[in-house]
Structure 1
């Protein structure tokens, strides 16, 4: 046998031996909310999902990114006419237009993030059945993609403050803390509702009602100061209470930063996120079957 033939036979044997290995996939043991290494490994896919969310929202749209301005702007106009001019709702000394817009800035982000997050798994049913990837990336990419709209709306807030000649408060340095609580809350609620929506389609149909109910349970059109002091911390269990009031305090300086409300909101938002991740993990194995 020639040297070349021997080498060929040796290579063929190596290939055959490598092709006979077995890959055993076992369920993870113990409590594990998510796999950091897996999320890092799929980071390119996560960036792609975020970019696709943004493109889908604005593709073939006549107004484009203007939708990120229209929603909070028109809501501000309606709230100013009805609650500011007609109902004479107290705005803590600030122009009601700015008072409502400062609340709509985090609220619009939150409501849109959870609405898109809920639909993320159901709308990607074909993708779930064909390939494996961390399912958690779908609701989280929806939450992350809405930060673009949030940034555009924040620019509109700056323009409105210039128009009203209302300088920002020095307390604006605390705004990043409120944004962090906002992101934690949006992620927690989105993960919870997404896992439920795959199995119970009623969640998707009831989202408009749920968002509207949550809005009036949050101080969007009114100030949290109207809540009796003895119910203040109980009211703050809704994490968006502390977020909205902190946005107003940080941007407009109407009150001091409500650290008690923000602290309770951070705690309840964190609990929402942790329990949501655990619930999502427990239901993940059935997503491809029922989506």
Structure 2
């Protein structure tokens, strides 16, 4: 993993798959600098190759979505040190809730695999006869338990969330997640994009308020599909790291899925960068620069 950048006035204290977190060397202790790197992960590995501008896309798209959503969020300022300009935000430090809150409006990914095995997603029974890409109406809340870096998040039933955080908070998390999905799905659809599913994370502020944290509605946390190309019954082209996953599982890569993944060819890096930038530009209506 790339060594986190040194940022004047801030002390690095944690790195995830993509983000690096810093705390002030002096000043308020309730603040954290969240920096999105250009790292990319796949199949629970952080790759040695990076995707240029990916961190800037993730940060700028998250900031745009935070403005669209009528939900309290953790962003305090984008006035960040020059070393991380464009890819960082100063945020309120939260007591993060250990649940990945996922809303699915379409059946695919790990949800499809569970459905094919048991007819359920996170123990929720679904109608018979669904296929890859089938529309789910209404959308469903399918939480997962957060895993350590290098481990895979585990889908869990709603009852498990209740056991972890209690009835009231579990119900609030489900309601907020589905509300965010519905609002974002409508915005994306108006721009010719289908929001198939999304993951959001919440934390509690110092006053106990539920607050939207981390990133939101980016290609790393959501599946975005081109509405013009949508065709149920097959894998849908998506605005994310699909090119990376496809290449890693190709004969050309020769990867065994056990050892660290090989470096990505430059063509795969560039196509992936272009896909992230296209997602940003189509959703926001802005030119990425």
Larger radius of gyration: 1
**TM-score (norm: length of structure 1):** 0.26
- As a proportion of its length, which structure holds more strand? 2
**TM-score (norm: length of structure 2):** 0.26
